Structure 1
Amino acid sequence: MGSTTLRIALLAAGLAAGFSGQALAQGASPAQPAKPEMRENCPGLVASRSPVFRRASFDPALLQLAALAADQVRITFVGHATFLLESPQLVRIATDYNDYIRPNVLPDIITMNHAHSTHYTDRPDPRIPHVLRGWAGQERPARIDMTFKDVRVRNVPTNIRTWGGGETERHGNSIFIFEIANLCIAHLGHLHHTLTQAQLDEMGRVDVVMVPVDGSYTLDLDGMIEVLHALKAPLLIPMHYFSGHSLDRFLTRMRQEWEIEVLEIPSTVISKTTLPIKPKILVMPGR
């Protein structure tokens, strides 16, 4: 594939997206056993060669949409905790969809968590076909497992701290798992505690993790690193870091064990065969 074609693919994705504590006691309901097909679709680290992260400079002349191959997923960081995921059949998913940061394209699927107003909205665009709320109330967790075209979306409920930080709200957050093009992508949402073995088992082996790294509003840095060690994903994408200081603090700690790559634009195309052999942190510009 020529360099111009690669630039077209990533430029189109970027334009479409708009460029626009301590661990808590779980107390959650026992997780349901993972489905056998999830185990097959999320086999974990099977890469055999180094990744190729494709990037492009901004060039208004290249206003074309390049199709994805059958084994590819396009990931664009819109900002905060919102990513736009695009499947080979052009299913578009926006994570932690809210009133402040949104992609400029209409998603087919949105996921939300209600820890803070920047992670959900009560007023989603009525044209969005699939609105997935990652909470249902303290008496019962949200349970989501849906398939749309070539995408499967499921969730693993977790607890959150209340706004004042003094109490635990059961089932207030969801880790959303996206199974696309033989990849298993996990968005940790507004995670406030380390994960139980039951939750890890329900997630299965994941290939890509979108991880909040602020170290205060979500899980503290030590706890988050513990979660990442437990997940053993080959590719980590930081989010929810507010400032360069909090991102740098996370990267300084992680640089001791993980390779770090910084992209020039907030978009990349990945596949199972381009996953890194050694775990890598992929930093996209955003906030």
Structure 2
Amino acid sequence: MKGRVGEIIFFSLFRTFFLYFVFLPLFSLSFFPPCWGETERQVLIRWYGHAFVYLISSTGVRVAIDPYGDETVKYKFPDHLQADVVLISSEAEDRSAGEKLYGTPQIFRSITAVGPNNARGHIFKGIQTFRDKSQGSLHGKNTAFVFKLDHITFAHLGDLAHTLTKDQLAEFGKVDVLFLPIGNEMLSNDDLDKITSDLGARLIIPIAFKTSLSGDLDIRPLDKYLEGKHNVKMIDSSELLIGQSDLPSEPWIYVLKEP
């Protein structure tokens, strides 16, 4: 009799265990979508003017790209800005002021940053390009960067001055958000459109164009790039939160407000 009672208790406990720890979790996964009850991860993008872009991932990783110095452009550098990673496309004064960032960031500088760079568990890939159409013979080399935060692929082209080769495109892969330097007069609008198309970018954010704070830099103003374009959204802020679901299905240009 005792054996029979023990057997009943065992099977009762087994049934309870199976119901709560096996069947119900499987049922929940099949009934509810994977993201049910979860908040989508988003990346905060800030544009500080010229080519200086700053991103914060949902986990708090802070990435500063092409921070400007004091001599060329007239934008005000943000006070006590901290970063975990700093990416510098060239040693031009308007793009190379990594020492102005606070904290103890890992700094990847121009040509020495070509290739994969591991920082804070993320790969920041540097791709060698040029600041002119003569393989750098006039203005030197440029390092473009591609990396992923919160499952979104970002690319910052630095001071790129030419369309991309097949080999360079293969290194980039498909890009979601593209920081596009539109001011360089060596690139026509057709060149810029080809670059965005070749990279498959869905969200294009223009940077490094002429404003009242560009100093003596001889660069193209924003309206020259936007001529004839209809897929343009003017953002009434210098910052933007972006998640995967915010990416448009077709290419759109988001113009951030001048800081």
Structure 1 length normalisation: TM-score?
A: 0.65
- Match in the other structure for 1:66: none
Alignment of 1:114-129 (within 5 A): 114=90, 116-121=92-97, 123-125=99-101, 127-129=103-105
C-alpha RMSD over aligned residues: 2.6
> For 2:98 and 2:64, how far apart are their aligned partners in 1?
15
Aligned mates of 2:258, 2:50 — CA distance in 1: 7
SS at match of 1:161: coil
Q: Deviations over 1:132-159 (max 9, x none)?
A: 11213xxxx733421414x431111112
Secondary structure at 1:135's aligned position in 2? helix
Sort the Cα spacing of 1:115 and 1:223 in 2 relative to 1 into closer, same or farther, 3 A: farther
Aligned residue for 2:250, secondary structure, equals: coil
The CA distance in 1 between the partners of 2:199 and 2:116, in whole Å, is: 21
Deviation at 1:273, TM superposition (A): 1.2
Query: Per the alignment, in what secondary structure is the counterpart of residue 221 of structure 2?
Result: helix
Q: 1:103 to 1:161 in 2, by over 3 A?
A: same
1:185-220 Cα deviation digits (max 9, x unpaired): 00111001110001101100010000011141x533
Contact 2:85 2:105 in 1 (8 A): yes
Partner of 1:89, secondary structure, is coil
Residue number among 225, 229, 234 corresponding to 1:250 in the alignment: 225
Displacement after TM superposition at 1:127 (Å): 3.6
1:146 corresponds to which of 109, 112, 118? 118
Match of 2:238 in 1: 266
Q: 1:225 to 1:83 in 2, by over 3 A?
A: same
Q: Identity, % of aligned pairs?
A: 26
Question: In 2, distance between residues paired with 1:70 and 1:87?
Answer: 12
State the alpha-carbon separation in 1 of the partners of residues 154 and 189 from structure 2: 21
Residues 1:98 and 1:144: Cα distance change in structure 2 (over 3 Å): farther
C-alpha distance in structure 2 between counterparts of 1:254 and 1:128, whole Å: 42
2:203 corresponds to 1:235: yes
Cα deviations by residue, 1:112-146 (Å, 9 ceiling, x for unpaired): 1226310113745474320011213xxxx733421
* Equivalences for residues 125-274 of structure 1 within 5 A: 125=101, 127-136=103-112, 142-149=114-121, 151-161=122-132, 167-168=137-138, 172-216=141-185, 219-243=187-211, 246-255=221-230, 259-274=231-246
Aligned length: 207
Contact 1:70 1:181 in 2 (8 A): no
Could you list the runs of 5+ residues in structure 2 that have no partner in the other structure? Answer: 1-38, 213-219
Alignment counterpart, residue 82 of structure 2, candidates 89, 106, 112: 106
Asked if structure 2 preserves the Cα contact closer than 8 Å seen for 1:113 and 1:189, the reply is yes
* Matched residue SS, 2:148: strand
Deviations 1:232-268, CA, capped at 9 Å, x for gaps: 211000011113872011111433xxx1100111111
3-state secondary structure, aligned to 2:108: strand
Counterpart of 2:237, as a letter, is I
Q: Do the aligned residues in 1 keep the contact of 2:87 with 2:107 (CA within 8 Å)?
A: yes
Aligned partners of 1:122 and 1:263: how far apart in 2? 27
- Matches of 1:146 and 1:122, distance apart in 2: 18
**CA 1:128–1:97 in structure 2 vs 1: closer, same or farther (change >3 Å)?**
farther
**Inter-partner Cα distance in structure 1 for 2:223 and 2:91:** 24
Contact 2:114–2:125 (Cα < 8 Å) also in 1: no
* TM-score (norm: length of structure 2): 0.72
Q: Against the structure 1 CA distance between its residues 253 and 167, is the aligned structure 2 distance closer, same or farther, given a 3 Å change threshold?
A: farther
In 1, are the aligned partners of 2:130 and 2:136 still within 8 Å (CA)? no
Q: Is the 8 A contact 1:189 1:212 kept in 2?
A: yes
The equivalent of 2:48 in structure 1 is 78
| Structure 1: gaps spanning 5 or more residues | 1-68
Residue 122 and residue 72 in structure 1: after superposition, are their counterparts in 2 closer, same or farther (change >3 A)?
closer
Q: What code does the residue aligned with 2:165 have?
A: T
Query: Whose radius of gyration is greater, 1 or 2?
Result: 2
